[in-house]
């Protein structure tokens, strides 16, 4: 099979190429914005029709959640128009299309777990554009939509790296305790997405590491896992905004995504986020 990956310089795109390498897959084209700007309709069509991939992993996206509120047009261009271009080209070459979406498509007010069938209600520009991207992707019959959350990987910035950096010169950090979700390791995610690509079990899936926590609990675990003495001061989202004086985009309070469908379709569930955090931190230490 031939694979094409967009957004290879991001956390997930990078780990998908590592997963393909691990499986001995050598026929892939891994691109970033310098190689193919997804908002350039003609370029996207030219690259994809020339390469003729069997599978496209569409990882490129506008992910700066807060910045999206001020730069709605730019965010829309990347997440919606860019995704439309990728979808049109995928349909043209009859490729399977794997698209990464987000817990931000939900408003986070539901009790319990969100299933793939629950009504969406995005409250941020980022969430809305990612959902509109989902709608574009659904035009291609051969699609997989993977909704993910709280992502971390070696090739980029993430919450774990930020906390470890802060622990170098802070005794205490303020972290929100009223947003609940699943931290998700791109190494584990890449494995399941490549598994999906080998099947025809198309549709929308929730794909995150197992178990749930708040950001504050996540931070506590990171410090513990790295033998740091930094204390976590648990605050509400409102208190955090007040303390930091930031203009924040709306964030769902409940991002518990049900993985029942993943299980039913015979895909492996990802390890727990605690296990994933330990492995990631080990990888970080070995890189130093």
228 contacts 236 by C-beta, under 8 angstroms: no
126 is catalytic: yes
CA 103 to chain centre: 9
Dist CA 247 CA 99 (whole Å): 29
Give the 3-state secondary structure of residue 197.
Answer: helix
Exactly one of 28, 51, 99, 126 is catalytic; name it. 126
For residue 34 the two structure tokens come to 């310098």
Dist CA 105 CA 1 (whole Å): 32
How many CB atoms lie under 10 A from the CB of residue 34? 7
37 closest CA partner among 96, 69, 81? 81
Q: How far is CA 26 from CA 35, 60, 188, in A?
A: 19, 21, 20
Q: Which long-range contacts (CB under 8 A, 24 or more apart) does 195-202 make?
A: 195/267, 195/268, 196/98, 196/144, 196/146, 196/267, 197/1, 197/3, 197/55, 197/57, 197/96, 197/98, 197/144, 200/142, 201/144, 201/265, 201/266, 201/267, 202/96, 202/141, 202/142, 202/143, 202/144
Dist CA 237 CA 106 (whole Å): 17
End-to-end CA distance of the chain: 35
Catalytic positions, written as ranges: 126
């Amino acid at each position: 099979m031939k694979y094409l990956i967009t957004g290879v310089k991001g956390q997930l795109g990078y780990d998908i190429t590592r997963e393909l390498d691990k499986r001995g897959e050598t026929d892939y084209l891994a691109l970033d914005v310098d190689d193919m700007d997804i908002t350039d309709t003609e370029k996207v069509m030219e690259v994809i029709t020339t390469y003729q991939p069997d599978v496209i992993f569409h990882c490129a996206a506008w992910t700066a959640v807060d910045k999206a509120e001020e730069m709605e047009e730019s965010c829309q261009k990347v997440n919606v128009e860019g995704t439309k271009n990728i979808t049109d080209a995928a349909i043209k070459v009859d490729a399977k299309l794997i698209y990464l979406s987000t817990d931000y498509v939900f408003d986070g007010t539901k009790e319990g777990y969100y299933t793939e069938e629950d009504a969406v209600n995005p409250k941020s520009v980022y969430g809305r554009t990612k959902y509109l991207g989902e709608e574009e992707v659904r035009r291609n019959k051969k699609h997989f939509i993977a909704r993910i959350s709280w992502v971390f990987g070696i090739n980029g910035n993430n919450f774990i790296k930020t906390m470890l950096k802060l622990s170098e010169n802070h005794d205490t950090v303020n972290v929100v305790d009223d947003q609940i979700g699943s931290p998700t390791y791109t190494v584990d995610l890449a494995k399941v997405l490549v598994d999906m690509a080998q099947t025809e079990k198309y549709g929308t899936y929730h794909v995150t590491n197992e178990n749930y926590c708040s950001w504050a609990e996540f931070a506590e675990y990171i410090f513990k896992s790295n033998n740091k003495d930094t204390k976590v001061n648990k605050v509400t989202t409102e208190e955090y905004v007040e303390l930091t004086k930031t203009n924040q985009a709306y964030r769902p309070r409940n991002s518990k995504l049900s993985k029942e469908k993943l299980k039913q379709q015979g895909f492996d569930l990802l390890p727990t986020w605690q296990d994933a955090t330990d492995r990631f931190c080990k990888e970080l230490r070995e890189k130093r």
